[in-house]
Amino acid sequence: MKAVIYHAFKDIRVNDVPEPGEPSRGEILVRVRACGMCGSDVTDWYMDPRAPVALGHEPAGDVVAVGEGVTDFKLGDRVALHHHVPCMVCDVCQRGHHTLCPTFKRTRLYPAGMAEYVRVPAEIVASDVLKLPDDMPYEIGALVEPIACCVRALDRANVRVGDTVVILGAGFNGVVMGMLASHWGADRVLILDRVPVRLDRAKSLGLETKNSDDPDIAEQVRAWSNGSGPHQVLITPSKIPAIDFGFSLAGPGATVLLYGPPRKGELWAFDANRMFFQEITITGTYSAAPADIRRTMSILKNKVIDAEKLITHRFPLEQADQAWEITRAAGDSLKVVVEL
């Protein structure tokens, strides 16, 4: 079968690979129809140590075979797949940190989501495969996983009724969190970016924006947030200067959330005195758990947001390298989907 393989940075190929084989007990085999390209797929320091490796963890498709003992799924079911699943009973799971679970890190799809066929292990079949509503296209099903990461982020940032939320970055994740924050109860949401086309797209989706390169942007943000600074600052870029900038905008008692992962070993020197005396919470968020996946399916099913507008580029499998490059460029794209 065909699969997209990351061989090295900027070396993305569609290769012939062995089919994943018939499903064993508790497993299913899925014919992938659509898979999103994620920012992690285009991050060299994250991908290079794994290379060569199959790409894709945002797939949706059709069940084409079921293993012994599978009763919740049948041939022809249209499904969205999560690529990891926690055990739900270990110490970190019991404390709500499901994405840190050893089982979560161990489980995965075989070979990966951007392949013609994918075998889904029994642990994932048992708890984190969702059937698509009849009227939901595969490409919208492929949004379940990435939007669920944003759902988890809003919860981790403790966004509540009446809050003011500033989001750094008008890419897919920033836009989705901006669209959903009011659903969490936020009074006002502001997105900052420096790329005009990204700011224009966010505006077209009904979001309030400001240019982060404005010389007086800090004063603008303070005025926008009634003079005290925002209650939450959600930082989607992973670079230390962006993180430092986001921290500088936070108001007293605010939560600063790191959404994009900095490179391993990078250090951030921040004003610990300000963090202490202004009681600023600094936290991170990683991936999504089963509850986030299900909440996202409800959001999409009930059309809380117009998910169709999030997909800006579509490519056939044979042009997956172009899909990768468009995603890496981070220009006018939001979500790039590969259709199989």
Instruction: Express each pLDDT in 100-133 by its tens digit.
Output: 999 999 999 999 999 999 999 999 999 999 999 9
Sign of the torsion angle spanned by Cα atoms 252, 253, 254, 258: positive
List beta partners, residue 336.
37, 313
Task: Work out the number of other CB atoms within 10 angstroms of the CB of residue 137.
Answer: 16
Is residue 334 left, alpha or beta, with left meaning phi > 0 and alpha meaning psi from -120 to 50? alpha
CA 62 to CA 295: how far, in whole Å?
Answer: 22
Contact between residue 338 and residue 37 where contact means Cβ atoms under 8 Å apart: yes
CA 77 to CA 100: how far, in whole Å?
Answer: 30
Which DSSP letter does residue 238 get? Answer: -
Instruction: Express each pLDDT in 164-196 by its tens digit.
Output: 999 999 999 999 999 999 999 999 999 999 999
The letter for the amino acid at 169 is G
Q: Which residue has 């390209």 as its token pair?
A: 37
Q: Which pLDDT belongs to residue 162?
A: 97
First to last CA, the chain: 11
Q: Which pLDDT belongs to residue 68?
A: 98
Domains plus CATH for the chain?
2-148+287-339 (3.90.180.10), 158-284 (3.40.50.720)
Positions of the chain with pLDDT lower than 70, given as ranges = none
Q: Which pLDDT belongs to residue 170?
A: 98
Q: Which long-range contacts (CB under 8 A, 24 or more apart) does 202-206 make?
A: 202/170, 202/174, 202/175, 202/178, 205/175, 205/178, 205/179, 205/306, 205/309, 206/179
Q: Which pLDDT belongs to residue 127?
A: 93
Contacts of 266 by beta carbon, 8 Å cutoff, 6+ apart: 240
